[in-house]
Amino acid sequence: MKQHFNTKTIVITGLLLALEIIFQLIGNYLQIGPANINLSLVPVVIAGFIGGPISAAILGFFNGIMALLSPSTIGFFMPMSPVGTVIVCLLKCTVAGVVSSLVYHGFKKLAKGKLSLIPAHIGTPIAAALVPIINTGLFILGSFIFFRDWIFADGRDALGAWGFVLLGVVGWNFLIELGSTVVLSTITNEILLTREAIQR
């Protein structure tokens, strides 16, 4: 049973990794106004739901590698701080995937308790939302740690720097990323749960 579980998890992780790469490539060309539609976080969320924190960490790490290899990262962030760029890119989505998976499976355990009043499916959108929130939050934190010279350029004060990062850098991309990740991850997970219930 343990061998079967491990094999199944490896296969699922591999398939989701391939999907993540495809979504990353598609996201480079899908835009709403000036904002790119990043769908590559959806496989990270689903990996955490199905395969657990390790599977989510693997997909999050590869998401970071793809971000690290993007032309904008190499051309803009890397010259400012190579070490900081690597740390931020590889850490932000990896941590986001692990936390999301732990929260989702925590909700599932609570929902199975006899005295629990928590609906079984409430953890899905909450956990899905955590991936873009943590991913973007760690990017902002990393920017203030490693890219301070760029953020505080032209004499920006602290308030102006926060506004520059939140509006100028994160902007609409985060809201679109958040909405698409939550909606697509929730729909996909509900379909998988329904299929699993029918098979039983």
pLDDT recorded at residue 156: 67
**Structural tokens at position 91:** 């850490």
Domain count, the chain: 1
Average pLDDT of every residue of the chain: 82
Model confidence at 34: pLDDT above 60: no
The model carries a pTM of 0.84
Looking at residues 31-59, what average pLDDT do you find?
84
Model confidence at 1: pLDDT above 50: no
Q: What is the distance between the alpha carbons of residues 179 and 195, in angstroms, rounded to a whole number?
A: 24
Which residue range(s) make up the domain with 124? Answer: 2-199
Higher pLDDT, 115 or 199: 199
Residue keyed to tokens 């496989």: 43
Q: Is 87 helix (H, G, I), strand (E, B) or coil?
A: helix
* DSSP H helical ranges for 28-157: 41-50, 53-68, 71-72, 78-80, 82-112, 123-146, 148-151
Instruction: For residue 35, list its beta bridge partners.
Output: 32
CATH code assigned at 104: 1.10.1760.20
Of these ranges, 9-13, 148-152, 160-164, 195-199, the one predicted with the greatest mean pLDDT is 9-13
Model confidence at 167: pLDDT above 70: no
Q: What is the distance between the alpha carbons of residues 135 and 192, in angstroms, rounded to a whole number?
A: 25
Looking at residues 187-199, what average pLDDT do you find?
79
Of 22-31, 53-62, 119-128, the least confident: 22-31
Q: What is the distance between the alpha carbons of residues 173 and 37, in angstroms, rounded to a whole number?
A: 7
93-149 pLDDT per residue, tens: 999 999 999 999 998 888 776 555 566 678 899 999 999 999 999 988 888 889 877
